[in-house]
Copies of this chain bind each other. A is one copy, B any other.
């Protein structure tokens, strides 16, 4: 069954920044901002690419529960900014993070963007996110 409706999918693919929350070892929340997209055009798995094995990835390996939130840039009739919240679970896999980041860079930075800079990148890690629930303010609340 689909968790994301068409408008939520469009937001995730819009090139807007995603605030990613993971859980530290002591249970406290940790936030950083990532680029996101879909793993495939017909699936619901959301992916982000990571060249370095940072705190957020170690957190997900220990406790897979996470949240993404994204502003849509749309203001509703009450003057409030719409936003999407995706609750889900994450899985960290080794993979072609540079390839994913290059694909996302075309969305986030522009069609001619080259990212990450340089050549001969290490494989890096992909964070695969399975959405379980959406909320927020927008055409999904």
Question: For chain A, what secondary structure do more than half of its interface residues adopt (helix, strand, loop), or is it mixed?
Answer: strand
Number of A residues contacting the other chain (C-beta, 8 Å)? 33
**B71 touching A30, Cβ below 8 Å:** no
Q: Is the CB of B17 within 8 A of A81?
A: yes
Q: Which A residues from 105 to 141 make CB contacts under 8 A with B? A: 105, 108-109, 113, 115, 117, 135-137
Known: A19-B69, A23-B27, A71-B17. A115 touches B33 (CB 8 A): no
Q: Closest B-chain residue to A65, C-beta based?
A: B28
Partner of A31, one of B19, B33, B81, B115: B19
Q: A79 an interface residue at 8 Å Cβ cutoff?
A: yes
Specify which of B17, B32, B65, B81 is in contact with A29 (CB 8 Å cutoff): B65
Whether B79 contacts A29 by the Cβ 8 Å rule is no
Q: Are B71 and A71 in contact (CB under 8 A)?
A: yes
Instruction: Report A28-81 residues with CB < 8 Å from chain B CB.
Output: 28-33, 63, 65-67, 69, 71, 78-79, 81
Given A17-B81, A17-B83, A19-B19, A67–B30 Cβ distance below 8 Å?
A: yes
CA distance A81 to B32 in the complex (A): 12
Closest residue of chain B to A87 (Cβ to Cβ) is B28
Q: Is the C-beta of A85 less than 8 angstroms from some C-beta in chain B?
A: yes
Decide if A21 is an interface residue (CB 8 Å cutoff).
yes
